Structure 1
Amino acid sequence: MQCSHSTDRPDLGQLPDDAVGLAALLRAWRARVGRRMGLGKPLPQVEVAAGIGMSERWYRDLERGAMPRLDARTLAALAVALRLCPDERATLFLYAAGGEPFPAVSAGSVDLTPLRRLLRLQPTQPAYLTDNAWNVLAHNEVMAEWFPWVRIPGANLVRWGLTDPEAREQMADWPRHGRAYLAMLRYAMAQYPGHPELAGILRAALADPECRRIWDDGPVIIANRDGHTFRLSIPRFAPHTVDVVAQVLHPVGYPGLRLTFLNPMTTSDD
Structure 2
Amino acid sequence: MQRDNSTDRTGLVGPPDEAVGLAVLLRAWRARAGRKLGLGKPLPQVEVAAEVGMSERWYRDLERGSTPRLDARTLTALADALQLCADERATLFLYAAGGEPFPAVSAVDGVDLAPLRRLLDLQPTQPAYLTDNAWNVLDHNTAMAEWFPWVRVPGANLIRWGLTDPEAREQLGDWPRHARAYLAMLRYAMAQYPGHPELREILRTALAVPECRRIWDAGPVIIANRDGHTFRLTIPRFAPHSIDVVTQVLHPVGYPGLRLTFVSRQDDGQEG
* TM-score category, normalised to shorter length: over 0.9
Query: Which residue in 2 is equivalent to 1:5?
Result: none
Displacement of 1:267 = 6.7
Query: Which residue in 2 is equivalent to 1:80?
Result: 80
Query: Which residue in 2 is equivalent to 1:3?
Result: none
Displacement of 1:38 = 1.3
Query: Which residue in 1 is equivalent to 2:124?
Result: 123
Query: Which residue in 1 is equivalent to 2:221?
Result: 220
Displacement of 1:20 = 1.6
Q: Secondary structure at the match of 2:19?
A: coil
Query: Which residue in 2 is equivalent to 1:204?
Result: 205
Could you tell me which runs of 5 or more consecutive residues in structure 1 were left unpaired when the two chains were aligned. Answer: 1-11
1:251 & 1:32 partners in 2: Cα distance? Answer: 35
Q: Secondary structure at the match of 1:108?
A: helix
1:268 & 1:233 partners in 2: Cα distance? Answer: 15
Displacement of 1:37 = 1.1
1:199 & 1:209 partners in 2: Cα distance? Answer: 17
Superposed, which structure 2 residues align to 1:103-252 within 5 Å?
103-109=103-109, 110-252=111-253
1:188 & 1:69 partners in 2: Cα distance? Answer: 20
TM-score by length of 2: 0.92
Query: Which residue in 1 is equivalent to 2:257?
Result: 256
Displacement of 1:62 = 0.4
Contact 2:248 2:263 in 1 (8 A): yes
Displacement of 1:15 = 2.6
2:19 & 2:115 partners in 1: Cα distance? Answer: 39
Quote the sequence identity (%): 82
Contact 2:126 2:269 in 1 (8 A): no
Superposed, which structure 2 residues align to 1:22-101 within 5 Å?
22-101=22-101
1:80 & 1:113 partners in 2: Cα distance? Answer: 43
Could you tell me which runs of 5 or more consecutive residues in structure 2 were left unpaired when the two chains were aligned. Answer: 1-6
TM-score by length of 1: 0.93
2:120 & 2:68 partners in 1: Cα distance? Answer: 44
Runs (4+) of structure 1 moved beyond 4 Å?
A: none
Q: Deviations over 1:183-226 (max 9, x none)?
A: 00000000000000000000000000000000000000000110
Worse-matched range after superposition: 109-118 or 179-188:
109-118
Worse-matched range after superposition: 113-122 or 240-249:
113-122
Displacement of 1:19 = 1.5
Aligned residues: 259
Q: Secondary structure at the match of 2:199?
A: helix
1:55 & 1:79 partners in 2: Cα distance? Answer: 16
What's the Cα RMSD here? 1.6
Q: Which amino acid aligns with 1:123?
A: P
1:123 & 1:138 partners in 2: Cα distance? Answer: 14
Aligned residue among 13, 17, 22 for 1:16: 13
2:213 & 2:46 partners in 1: Cα distance? Answer: 32
